[in-house]
Structure 1
Amino acid sequence: MSMIVTRLLSSVIILSLLLSLSGCVQPDSGPEPEEYIFNYTECNSTTYYIGERSVKTVHVVHNTSRLELVLEGAVLSSTPETGLSNLVVVKRTETDTPLKYNISSRVRHGRRYLVIEFPGSADFVAYTETLSGNELSRKTGDGLVRVYLPEGYATGSLLLGTPRPSPERVFEDSSGRMVIEWNGSNVSAFSVAYYKDSAPWILTSLFIILGVAGILILTYFKLKIGALQRKRDFVEKKGR
């Protein structure tokens, strides 16, 4: 009897190990694809929609069933296993019907890689990551790269933050959001520091206030020194 129990336990352990090595499969109940914007492109592309505290990433994939991501230190994991949340894989003709996918991660050369495997018929892979601070930095692959800043935010100030490297195109969409664009084939990585639209005006006003305050202080000390000089001259003349 004890031998049978031992064999059963061994089988369960082996099965668990096999499942853990193969990654995890998307459950039947998952996030709704409607929370993402699916804009199809004729070539591979990656679009980042930055929110207040998160970024929604949408990959357009062609002729592949595998997507490998590098999880940078800037990414704060919302789920310890993957660093991603609300992951969906869909076809462009059926964006309301998520496809099954398999996800696994590994560490290579000191970096953590996330591998997403999905049917070859998929057109979009989308997920959400949390952000800390007002800067987005990512490595790029081949294809178009677009970054949508939050509504009411901008970039380009040397004092407050700029996109690096210099983008190939900057424009506003129909809702007024600033969009930064690169050809991923020409750059290996990008970084965008962004700020509220009102920040440059506030900074300029602060500099003006500090400048006026500095002038007033200098004028005050100049008058004070002049008064002391006149007083000293008066005392010296009186002493004679």
Structure 2
Amino acid sequence: MKMRTKSIFMLLALLVVFMSGCIDQKKEIVLDEPGNISNYEFEVFLDDWDNNIPANTTTYYILEDKTEVQVVHIVINSSKLEIYPPDTLGGGSGEEPIRNFVLLVEPANETVASPKTFMWLANSSNVSDLNYTLTQEIARNMKVINLEFEEPVTGFIAYTLDIPATQSFAFMKPDSEFIRVVLPVGFATGNRIFGIARPEPYDVSVDEEGRQTLLWISSKMGEREEAIQVKYYTESAPMYFFAAIVALLFGVGLVISRYSQSKKELESVREVFELEKEYEAKERRKKK
């Protein structure tokens, strides 16, 4: 009987531990002050496939130091946004999950989601004074930041995240129809030797500042493509690599040429030496 009681107690203890591990612990994020609007690019991205109507879009601007990424969302009639920090996929410090948070939104029931509205918001000098909550939790074994409003909103949401100081950027696919990554000036992707983007972008273009821009369309991606990774490199890397290969081949050619020449010289010396030996042998035979 005691053994049975002990077994039940251990089973209950294990169940409590298991349940406590399954319950997601939410932590509220409190931001000290609004972010700086001038730090961001609020581009009005239009859905060319739907009569130039603005569409839910997430754009990642990788900064030149490759340690930060600025994220700008175009949201239309949305009350919640899920943000996955880079450390969700094994990068980032996690000490300050989100910084320089900027809201340029209006209540959706008071706003028309038109290019004119977004242009007006993009040129605004004051952040929106709407109530929201930011919480961080572990859901499905991944870290996620939840941004929630009291009512659906339309406009721009921008913030900055830390990323690992490498030439590789990976992130969870956001809940947006259009997903864009803007590389720093002087960087590119698409070379299988130096780095490519996975999955393959729907479109690759260069903006007015000379930055390579990658575009994915969420509805055209497979269900298993939950993460996007972009490995990028300096635009001059392939040229320098090709030049190094040419120099290496030239050096190898010189070595082979020198070896061939030295081999011929040695063979000539050996032939002369053999002839001298034959001559000396003949002279010895004559003396006998």
Same topology, TM > 0.5:
yes
Flag structure 2 segments of 5+ consecutive residues without an equivalent: 1-24, 46-53, 106-117, 279-288
How far did residue 186 of structure 1 move?
2.4
> Contact 1:55–1:130 (CA<8 Å) still a contact in 2?
yes
Look up the equivalent residue of 1:207 and give its one-letter code. Answer: I
> TM-score under structure 2 normalisation?
0.68
Give a deviation string over 1:78-135, Cα, whole Å, max 9, x none: x615x22112222244443244432111123332111112352242221112232112
Task: Provide the identity percentage.
Answer: 27
In structure 2, the partner of 1:165 is 199
Q: 1:51 aligns with which of 55, 58, 63?
A: 63
Q: 1:128 aligns with which of 151, 155, 160?
A: 160
Give a deviation string over 1:132-157, Cα, whole Å, max 9, x none: 21121122134001111111222222
In structure 1, the partner of 2:127 is 97
Change in Cα spacing, 1:142 to 1:204, as seen in structure 2 (3 Å) is: same
Look up the equivalent residue of 1:112 and give its one-letter code. Answer: K
Inter-partner Cα distance in structure 2 for 1:59 and 1:75: 22
> Contact 1:89–1:101 (CA<8 Å) still a contact in 2?
no
In structure 1, the partner of 2:109 is none
Look up the equivalent residue of 1:76 and give its one-letter code. Answer: G
In structure 2, the partner of 1:206 is 244
How far did residue 26 of structure 1 move?
3.9
Matched, 1:230 2:230: no
How far did residue 217 of structure 1 move?
0.8
Local SS of the residue matching 1:123: strand
Local SS of the residue matching 2:219: coil
Inter-partner Cα distance in structure 1 for 2:176 and 2:267: 72
Inter-partner Cα distance in structure 2 for 1:50 and 1:163: 14
Local SS of the residue matching 2:78: coil
In structure 2, the partner of 1:216 is 254
Change in Cα spacing, 1:60 to 1:75, as seen in structure 2 (3 Å) is: farther
Matched, 1:73 2:73: no
Inter-partner Cα distance in structure 2 for 1:55 and 1:24: 19
Look up the equivalent residue of 1:194 and give its one-letter code. Answer: Y
**Displaced runs of 4+ in structure 1, greater than 6 A?**
none
Matched, 1:32 2:65: no
How far did residue 171 of structure 1 move?
1.2
Inter-partner Cα distance in structure 1 for 2:153 and 2:236: 45
In structure 1, the partner of 2:217 is 183
Change in Cα spacing, 1:23 to 1:171, as seen in structure 2 (3 Å) is: same
Local SS of the residue matching 2:61: strand
Inter-partner Cα distance in structure 2 for 1:126 and 1:149: 17
In structure 2, the partner of 1:108 is 139
The structure with the largest alpha-carbon Rg is 2
Give RMSD over aligned pairs.
2.2
How far did residue 158 of structure 1 move?
1.9
Look up the equivalent residue of 1:63 and give its one-letter code. Answer: N
Flag structure 1 segments of 5+ consecutive residues without an equivalent: 1-19
> Contact 2:34–2:127 (CA<8 Å) still a contact in 1?
no
In structure 2, the partner of 1:64 is 78
> Contact 1:26–1:101 (CA<8 Å) still a contact in 2?
no
Change in Cα spacing, 1:32 to 1:21, as seen in structure 2 (3 Å) is: same
> Contact 1:148–1:180 (CA<8 Å) still a contact in 2?
yes
Change in Cα spacing, 1:98 to 1:149, as seen in structure 2 (3 Å) is: same
How far did residue 161 of structure 1 move?
1.4
Count of matched residue positions in the alignment of Structure 1 and Structure 2:
218
